[in-house]
Amino acid sequence: MHEMSIAISIIDIVESYAKENGAGKVLSVTVDIGDLSGVDAEGVKFCYEASCAGSLAQGSEIVINKITAAGWCPICETEFRPPHKFVMCPDCESFGCKIICGEQLEVREMKVE
């Protein structure tokens, strides 16, 4: 289960952050999940809530910040929304496009006390 291992890594990250900052518990964590990360945001949220019992993250809130993917075509110099990682420019049909955004999966913000 991919989402479960991601949820557990997020809990590890927030717990070590809380410990480093001398905090007793985690209040919330905000996670950026890109459209193209291949991760099911709802699944991560579910697994996080199911796995945080007994950790410093118990009872904390996980906020998923979904990031809309963006691709860039250097030939027509346009930005577009790619449906998947292997992108073709919708205008010139070039395959030389770059994904500029949407693959991220990272903890953006944590609140502890």
The only residue of 42, 79, 91, 109 in contact with Zn ion, by rule CB under 5 A: 91
2-61 residues in contact with Zn ion (CB under 5 A) are none
Q: Is 100 in the site for Zn ion (CB under 5 A)?
A: no
CB 44, min distance to Zn ion, A: 33
E strand spans, the chain: 26-34, 61-67, 70-73, 78-80, 98-101, 105-112
Task: In angstroms, give the least distance from the CB of 81 to Zn ion.
Answer: 14
Smaller CB separation from Zn ion, 28 or 78: 78
Of the chain, the end-to-end C-alpha distance in Å amounts to 31
**Residue from 76, 103, 104, 107 in contact with Zn ion (CB under 5 A):** 76
Closest-CA residue to 81 (of 41, 73, 104)? 73
β-partners of residue 33 are 66, 105
Total residues interacting with Zn ion, rule: CB under 5 A: 7
Q: What are phi and psi of 33, to 5 degrees?
A: -125, 115
Query: Residues interacting with Zn ion, by CB under 5 A?
Result: 73, 75-76, 89, 91-92, 94
